[in-house]
């Protein structure tokens, strides 16, 4: 058994694990990512990315690759059968996403299925020197004050290896063996009383819907079949339907013959179809009570599992990885004290729980046939999409409030607009820089950024001295722009300190009496060095 040493070991190469690895590399921290699967996901699992996730991928330099996948978010039509000329829009995608136009340099939403996203992130991670090893499973792990010792096994050769890591990131899914080994309890509704069966098939089905773009879906609803057709590639398609064990239905009933019969009835006329695979999946609404246990962190479905509606799932996973990565990097490089890592739980747990609960409100109940499934299902009020997509405000020791900071660890803190409040994502405004149109988010680098209302040598000097004293790079950009001033309400003498995850860590509406000392105090506080 050979040994290796790595700053971060990541278990699970889905959207959460690959994003975490990519973001750690952006901050100069290497990782080893393992997954017991033998390849990236080949089916269009998680499908749509919100603008906030797109911003994170933009920061990795992947925007052009993502935009090349499709022109926008998935649309869905409802038809009695594929060959029917009758159709109606299942829901108004534009009405859902158009209110967010202008909030981001990215589209409000973008179709980019996991089958396309995973290879992008994988190539990016490997280009930047970190390891991704498929066909490798975690056998056991132990942790102490010095780090994590894990034993991993190559599934082909059976060879064992001991990996010493400073930290372990568990992105190993809804049934997370790491979470179970830690004994971390969960809350929520758990397994929902319904299954989705994905029937993958080949056949000339797209001749009946030539207008169907990749990413779009057709919901078929007739007396025999209720399901959703999704294109995979070329003549390869998927029909997603549901069954309820409580009604006597079971996965074993979806034989090859029955699946073929369902496909023919959904298509509306007999064609030659080859059933490739029928895979059942049970949705969960379950959130870990702790996202951190010692040197182990839960990310993605291991932390917050939810049905893939209402901008949850992969989007929440990517954003949790973004929150954690810069903090791990800051501690590993000695920039921050270890207490900074406590803020991952404080900031992301309320949002994970809020997103999970909201995933079972509104249209989700109907799509999952849960609107009439009896007691025990959520009665939460449906929140506005703004709250889910961008309207959260972090309240933790990594955000400095000059006024009152009423914290409630059991509740998510929400805002209705972004005006550069501490704890919110910095507003997007288009600016002109060197003859180019850039977003305020494009001014942000991998470290801290000070955005000032106008060029002021005192803020420049304060940032330079804080960088020297604390050994923390702080970039400075002055923004003399009417739209920016209107959006933020920031006076010319004010400034915003932006964290590496694009969130406002501190706001100064006026120039402090001693800006040097004040900026050093704030940085030290955010980085748990005070």
On whether both 35 and 79 belong to a single domain, the answer is: no
* Rounded Cα–Cα distance for residues 263 and 276 (Å): 12
Q: What's residue 375's pLDDT?
A: 43
Q: Does some domain include residue 339? A: yes
- Tell me which residue range forms the domain holding 462: 394-526
Q: Does some domain include residue 88? A: yes
Q: Does some domain include residue 375? A: no
The CATH number for 206's domain is 3.30.9.10
On whether both 432 and 488 belong to a single domain, the answer is: yes
Q: Does some domain include residue 380? A: no
The last residue of one of the domains, among 244, 261, 281, is 281
Q: How many domains does the chain have?
A: 3
The CATH number for 415's domain is 3.40.30.120
Q: Does some domain include residue 377? A: no
* Rounded Cα–Cα distance for residues 15 and 122 (Å): 10
On whether both 293 and 434 belong to a single domain, the answer is: no
Q: What's residue 370's pLDDT?
A: 58
The CATH number for 293's domain is 3.50.50.60
On whether both 206 and 295 belong to a single domain, the answer is: no
On whether both 61 and 114 belong to a single domain, the answer is: yes
Cβ–Cβ under 8 Å, residues 463 and 447: no
Q: Does some domain include residue 388? A: no
Q: Does some domain include residue 471? A: yes
The last residue of one of the domains, among 281, 299, 315, is 281
Q: What's residue 212's pLDDT?
A: 80
Long-range pairs for 67-72: beta carbons < 8 A, 24 or more residues apart: 67/107, 67/110, 69/110, 69/111, 69/112, 69/113, 69/116, 69/214, 69/215, 70/110, 70/111, 70/112, 70/213, 70/214, 70/215, 71/111, 71/213, 72/107, 72/109, 72/110, 72/111
On whether both 181 and 310 belong to a single domain, the answer is: yes
The interaxial angle of helices 114-127 and 15-26, nearest 10 deg, is 30
For residue 233, the tally of other CB atoms under 10 A from its CB is 10
Q: What's residue 111's pLDDT?
A: 85
Q: Which mean pLDDT values do the consecutive 10-residue runs of the chain (530 residues) have?
A: 86 96 97 91 74 97 92 81 88 74 92 89 96 96 97 96 98 97 95 91 93 83 92 88 89 94 96 94 94 98 88 90 98 97 97 92 64 51 90 96 73 94 98 93 96 89 97 96 95 96 97 96 95
CA angle (77 as vertex; 72, 80 as ends), nearest 5: 160
Q: What's residue 378's pLDDT?
A: 52
The last residue of one of the domains, among 224, 255, 281, is 281
On whether both 51 and 125 belong to a single domain, the answer is: yes
Q: What's residue 374's pLDDT?
A: 45
Q: What's residue 368's pLDDT?
A: 58
């Amino acid at each position: 058994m050979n040994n290796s040493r790595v700053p971060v070991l990541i278990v699970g190469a889905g959207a959460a694990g690959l994003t975490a690895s990519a973001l750690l590399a952006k901050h100069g921290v290497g990782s080893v990512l393992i997954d017991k699967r033998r390849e990236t996901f080949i089916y269009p699992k998680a499908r749509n990315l919100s603008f906030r996730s797109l911003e994170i991928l933009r920061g990795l330099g992947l925007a052009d690759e993502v935009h090349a996948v499709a022109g926008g978010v998935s649309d869905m039509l409802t038809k009695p059968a594929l060959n029917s000329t009758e159709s109606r829009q299942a829901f108004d995608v534009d009405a859902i996403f158009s209110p967010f136009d202008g909030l981001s340099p990215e589209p409000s939403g973008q179709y980019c299925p996991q089958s396309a996203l995973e290879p992008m992130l994988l190539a990016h991670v490997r280009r930047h020197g970190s390891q991704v090893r498929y066909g490798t499973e975690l056998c056991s792990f132990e942790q102490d004050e010095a780090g994590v010792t894990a034993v991993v096994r190559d599934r082909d050769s059976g060879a064992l290896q001991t990996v010493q890591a400073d930290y372990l990131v568990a992105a190993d899914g809804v049934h997370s063996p790491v979470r179970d080994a830690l004994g971390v309890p969960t809350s929520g509704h758990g397994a929902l009383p319904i299954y989705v069966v994905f029937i993958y098939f080949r056949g000339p089905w797209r001749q009946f819907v030539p207008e169907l773009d990749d990413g779009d879906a057709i919901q078929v609803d007739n007396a025999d079949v209720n399901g959703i057709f999704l294109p995979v590639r070329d003549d390869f398609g998927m029909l997603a339907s549901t069954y309820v064990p409580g009604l006597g239905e079971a996965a074993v009933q979806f034989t090859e013959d029955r699946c073929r019969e369902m496909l023919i009835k959904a298509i509306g006329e007999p064609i030659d179809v080859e059933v490739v695979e029928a895979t059942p999946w049970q949705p969960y609404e379950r959130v870990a009570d702790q996202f951190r246990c010692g040197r182990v962190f839960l990310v993605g479905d291991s932390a917050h599992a939810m049905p893939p509606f209402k901008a949850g799932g992969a989007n929440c996973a990517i954003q949790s990885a973004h929150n954690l990565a810069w903090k791990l990097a800051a501690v590993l490089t000695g920039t921050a004290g270890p207490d900074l890592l406590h803020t991952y739980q404080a900031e992301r747990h309320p949002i994970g729980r809020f997103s999970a609960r909201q995933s079972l409100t509104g249209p989700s109940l109907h799509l999952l046939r849960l609107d009439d499934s009896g007691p025990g299902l959520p009665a939460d009020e449906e929140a506005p999409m703004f709250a889910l997509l961008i309207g959260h405000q972090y309240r933790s020791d990594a955000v400095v409030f000059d006024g009152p900071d009423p914290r409630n660890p059991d509740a998510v803190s929400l805002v209705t607009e972004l005006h550069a409040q501490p704890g919110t994502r910095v507003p997007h405004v288009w600016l002109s820089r060197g003859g180019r149109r850039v977003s305020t988010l494009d001014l942000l680098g991998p470290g801290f950024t000070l955005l000032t209302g106008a060029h002021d040598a005192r803020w420049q000097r304060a940032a330079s001295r804080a960088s020297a004293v604390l050994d923390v790079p702080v970039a400075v950009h002055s923004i003399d722009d009417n739209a920016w001033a209107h959006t933020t309400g920031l006076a010319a003498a004010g400034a915003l300190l932006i964290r590496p995850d694009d969130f406002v860590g501190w706001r100064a509406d006026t120039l402090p009496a001693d800006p040097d000392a004040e900026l050093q105090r704030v940085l030290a506080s955010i980085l748990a060095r005070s």
